[in-house]
Amino acid sequence: MTTPIGIHDLSLATTGYVLDLADLAAATGVDPDKYRIGLGQDEMSVPGPDEDIVTMGAAAALPILERHGRDRIRTLFFATESGVDQSKSAAVFAHRLLELPAACRAVELKQACYAATAALQAGIGIVARNPGEQVLVIASDIARYEVDTAAEPTQGAGAVAFLVSADPALVEIEPVVGVDTADVDDFWRPNDSVTAVVDGKLSIDAYLDGFTAAWDDYRARGGADIDAIGRFCHHQPFTRMAAKAHRRLAEHTGVDLPADRYETSTAYNRRMGNSYTASLYAGLAALLDGDDNLAGRRIGFLSYGSGSVSEFFTGVVGPDYREHRRGAQAQLDAREPVSVARYRELHAAAHLGSTHDVEIAPETRTRFHFAGIRGRARRYRS
Ligand code: COA
C-alpha cells in the first residue's frame, strides 16, 4: 500500500488594510451590484507600506511551525507571481524570518496563479521519497492592476501556507491529475512593471478552455467520475469566476452540478480579493472551515495560471478535519478600513525602486514588517 500524502495543515494571512468595494463603486460611479453580484466581490485587502509577499507569507506560515515544529522541514517552496527580486527567492527571506533550519532548500516558483499547485505536487514527490520529511509551501501574492480600469475591483492580497506531509490530517491528495499548457497572452506582468497587463475577457475564456482540457486529461488518465466528486474548489480571481467554471464543467460533462458543491469555497476570497497563487488554497481554507460534511469526501480542485497552465486534481478530506480548522475569519475582521483616497495613495507608492535607501516604519499590525531598502537590498523586521 502506498503512503497517503497531502495537506497536513493550512493557514491564511492577509494585509492590515481593507477597502470596501461599495466605496470604490461610489467613487468611480459604478453600480455597487456590479462588484457584489457581477464579480462576486465585497472587499479587497490592501497592503500597507510595511507589507509585501514575504511578510504575508511568513505570517501565514508561522502558526503552522508553532503547531508542528521545524525539524522535519527540509524544503520551503514559495509560489508567487509578484516576486520582490529577480534572483533571490522570496523563500530565502521567509526562511530567515521563520527561523527554519539551515539544512533546508528554499526556492521560488512562478507560473501566474498556478505555481502553488506545482509546489504541492513537487512537495508530494519529495515526501514520497522520504516520508519522514515535510515540505512547507507558501503561496503569497499582491494582485495589482492600473487604477480606473475594469480590473481594478479584482485586486487583492493574501497568503496561504500549507504543510505537505505523509498521513495528512486535512486532505490526502490523489495521484491522478489532468494538466494543460497553452501559450496565450491573457495576463502577464513585464519585468519593468508593478502592475499586471490583462485582457480580461480573453483571460476568462482561456481559464474555461484550460479547465475543460485539464478535466479531459484527468478523465483520460483514469480520474474519478464526476458523480464521485462531492465538492469543487475552483481558482477564484474573483468569486463569480468560480460560478462560471462550475457551469462550464456541468455543460461539458452533461451532469447537473448544484451551486452548493462549490459556493462555500468563496467565503474568504469574496473579502480578500484576488491573491493569485493563494486564491485556490484560500478557497480550500474557506471550504474546510465552512462545511461540516466533508469527512471522507472527495474535492475536485481546478488550478489555473494565466499564460497558461491548468491542472485538475482531487483530494479526500480526513475524518477529523474539523479538529484542525483554523478560522481565518478573525484575520479578515481585524483589517483596518481605508478610504479610496488612501488606497490610491498606497497603490501609487507601490513601486519603490532600489536605487535609493529607504527606511519604512512599522505601520500595520502585521507580524513581520518590510523595513525598506538599504544598499539596494530588501530588509525585513520580525
Ligand atoms: N448588477 C449585477 N451584475 C452586473 C451589473 C449590475 N449592476 N453590472 C454588470 N454586471 C455583471 C455583468 O453582466 C457581467 O456578468 P457576466 O460575467 O455574467 O457577463 C459582470 O458583472 C462583469 O461585468 P462586465 O462589464 O462584463 O466586465 P468588466 O468589463 O467590468 O470586466 C473583468 C470584468 C473580470 C474582465 C475585469 O474585472 C478584469 O479584467 N479582471 C482581471 C482579470 C481576471 O481576473 N480574469 C479572470 C481569469 S484569470
CATH of the domain at 298: 3.40.47.10
**CA of residue 176 relative to chain centroid, distance:** 22
Using the 8-state DSSP alphabet, how is residue 206 labeled?
Answer: H
The arrangement of strands across the sheet holding 17-20 comes to 43-46, 17-20, 336-337
Q: Which of 43, 51, 81, 311 is catalytic?
A: 81
**Ligand 1 contact, 247 CB (< 6 A):** no
Beta-strand ranges (E) seen in the chain are 5-13, 17-20, 43-46, 73-79, 105-109, 134-143, 156-166, 171-181, 187-188, 197-198, 231-234, 298-305, 309-317, 336-337, 358-359, 369-374, 377-381
Residue 297 shares a structural domain with residue 361:
no
Mark which of 319, 334, 359 sits at the end of a domain.
319
What is the 241 CA–ligand 1 centroid distance (Å)? Answer: 9
Angle formed at CA 141 by CA 139 and CA 147, multiple of 5 degrees: 165
The total of structural domains in the chain comes to 2
Residue 162 shares a structural domain with residue 177:
no
Residue 10 shares a structural domain with residue 120:
yes
What is the DSSP secondary-structure string of 350-380? ----SSS-EE----S--SSEEEEEETTEEEE
Mark which of 265, 299, 319 sits at the end of a domain.
319
Residue 199 shares a structural domain with residue 113:
no
User: Which residue, by CA, sits nearest to atom 22 of ligand 1?
Assistant: 38
What is the 204 CA–ligand 1 centroid distance (Å)? Answer: 10
Q: Which amino acid is at 1?
A: M
Domain of residue 180, residue span: 173-319
User: Which residue, by CA, sits nearest to atom 5 of ligand 1?
Assistant: 34
Q: Which of 113, 172, 233, 347 is catalytic?
A: 113
Rounded CA-CA distance 101/98 in Å is 9
Chain position carrying cell 507560473: 111
Rounded CA-CA distance 5/323 in Å is 19
Phi, psi of 287 (to 5 degrees): -65, -45
Residue 330 shares a structural domain with residue 314:
no
User: Which residue, by CA, sits nearest to atom 8 of ligand 1?
Assistant: 34
Q: Which of 8, 95, 234, 235 is catalytic?
A: 235
Task: Give, for all 382 residues of the chain, the pLDDT tens digit.
Answer: 688 999 999 999 999 999 999 999 999 999 999 999 999 999 999 999 999 999 999 999 999 999 999 999 999 999 999 999 999 999 999 999 999 999 999 999 999 999 999 999 999 999 999 999 999 999 999 999 999 999 999 999 999 999 999 999 999 999 999 999 999 999 999 999 999 999 999 999 999 999 999 999 999 999 999 999 999 999 999 999 999 999 999 999 999 999 999 999 999 999 999 999 999 999 999 999 999 999 999 999 999 999 999 999 999 999 999 997 777 999 999 999 999 999 999 999 998 889 999 999 999 999 999 999 999 999 999 9
Told to judge if 113 belongs to the known catalytic residues of this protein, a careful annotator would answer: yes
Residue 61 shares a structural domain with residue 204:
no
Residue 135 shares a structural domain with residue 191:
no
Whole-structure pTM value: 0.98
